[in-house]
Amino acid sequence: MEYRIEHDSMGEVKVPADKLWAAQTQRSHENFEIGVNIETMPMEIIHAFGILKKAAAQANSKLRPEKMTAQKLSAIQTACDEIIAGKQNQNFPLVVWQTGSGTQSNMNANEVIANRGNQIAGEKILHPNDDVNMSQSSNDTFPTAMHIAAVLMLEDKLIPAVETLIATFKRLEEENEGIVKSGRTHLQDATPITFSQEISGWRSSLEKDVELIKRSIAPLCELALGGTAVGTGLNAPKGFGEVVAKEVENLTGKPFVTATNKFHSLTSKDEIVFAHGAIKALACDMMKIANDVRWLASGPRDGLGEIFIPENEPGSSIMPGKVNPTQCEAVTMVAVQVMGNDVAVGMAASQGNFELNVFMPVCIYNFLQSARLLAEAILSFNKNCAVGIKANKEKMHHNLHNSLMLVTALNPYIGYENAAKTAKKAFKDNISLKEACVELGFLTAEKFDEVFHPEQMV
């Protein structure tokens, strides 16, 4: 491999000749061989750095035109556009397990933008610290990248995925209107419910989750940029925070604003914790929905068997013909991962000491993984399972009329205790509720038929 020599304040460093990063990135690459090629800094953070570095250059060109010249601005903007488009992903090798402030990833961005910008300009006009990092600190850029990446992930990926599944459930509600089945509580038979009502519970849960996630986005739109090292804004021109936030808004189309208190925004991650709590709520509901679907589809002969789901792949290496609810299982595993991630996010957010939180990379790594996995799992579940759900009307009808909890309809006529006796006798003697009620002398056969209508109990 060919190398070139780069230098920083600590001296010279050998860097692969074909890479755009420089000395500080290389030092981190060598010093933190933890999770290499597996747990690298999420690309959503890298792309967010492209956005904020472009916005910062634009703000500096307005507030410090003598330093951020038109030529420098043009080179930085072009380099940032390449990063935003994912064209420079190979130049961001650093792992999550680095300094807790994300300093090396900030410098990775600075170095790549400076080197690529110099290539574009055809001369060395950009310095990673003096130009690309102008008016900034790692301590305010990394939390800014966290918020940008979080908002884009939630609004552009997670919420649309959930809304896709909501639309499927709405269609299934309409298609299954009027189909009455047995309800279940405590995994035991309960009073009747329509299948569309059951589906509406799934749909409404997801709608509530979207509402909660949307509520969590507004606090995430506050950006730390402008606080620099400790929140005082040292080395940033007056009004930089406001101008750069407006530039980020223009670049993303999202309502970003500067944080009102930079001392808070550098050391506290409560906005991330709050938003991840909403993500966890979604994971809890997806766990419940996926479990409902696989319970209802259990069988094909010895389970509930009340719905049919798509058969996507063989389910066993030893049992021929077996098909498993694999999409449901994938969703439930993702839900477990998200719940675990919530602990990591909360613990990381609790580690703010004095003027800076130093667990930011692991905090945003888990946050983005949760949102990404849920979005992709929901789309997969929708495409490969939910859209193909079909009611097994015959089995639903059989289970409904075989349920002893239909005796609840008799309460107004024979009382709770007599209804309980009827249900117990029917179960013990393996006879129908009608036979039990008549044998016990509580109602005549004609009166039973007059008052007993399961389909009207919904």
Q: In this predicted model, what pLDDT tens digit does every residue of 72-121 receive, in sequence order?
A: 999 999 999 999 999 999 999 999 999 999 999 999 999 999 999 999 99
Q: What are phi and psi of 95, to 5 degrees?
A: -90, 165
pLDDT at residue number 37:
84
Average pLDDT over residues 264-274: 98
pLDDT attached to residue 351? 92
pLDDT range class, residue 447, cuts 50, 70, 90? very high
pLDDT tens-digit series, residues 362-410: 999 999 999 999 999 999 999 999 999 999 999 999 999 999 999 999 9
How much is the pLDDT for 317? Answer: 85
Q: How many CA atoms lie within 13 A of 282 on its CB side?
A: 33
Burial class (CB in 10 A: 0-12, 13-18, 19+), 75: buried
> How far, in Å, CA of 89 to CA of 155, rounded?
23
pLDDT 10s digits, 192-214: 999 999 999 999 999 999 999 99
Q: Mean pLDDT for the chain? A: 96
Confidence (pTM)? 0.93
Confidence of residue 314 (pLDDT cuts 50, 70, 90): confident
What is the rounded CA–CA span in Å between residue 113 and residue 144?
18
Lowest-confidence region among 24-28, 51-55, 92-96, 395-399? 24-28
Question: Lowest-pLDDT range, 35-39, 148-152, 166-170, 232-236?
Answer: 35-39
Percent of the chain with pLDDT over 70: 100
Q: What is the pLDDT of residue 34?
A: 87
* Backbone φ, ψ for residue 34 (5° rounding): -130, 115
Query: Of 2-11, 64-73, 265-274, 331-340, which range is least confident?
Result: 2-11
pLDDT value at position 322?
Answer: 87
Lowest mean pLDDT among 20-29, 145-154, 297-306, 344-353: 20-29
> Known catalytic residues?
186, 316
Is 313 a residue whose pLDDT tops 90?
no
Q: Which residues fall within 8 angstroms of residue 65, CB to CB, at 6 or more apart?
A: none
Q: Rounded to whole angstroms, how far apart are CA atoms 56 and 137?
A: 11
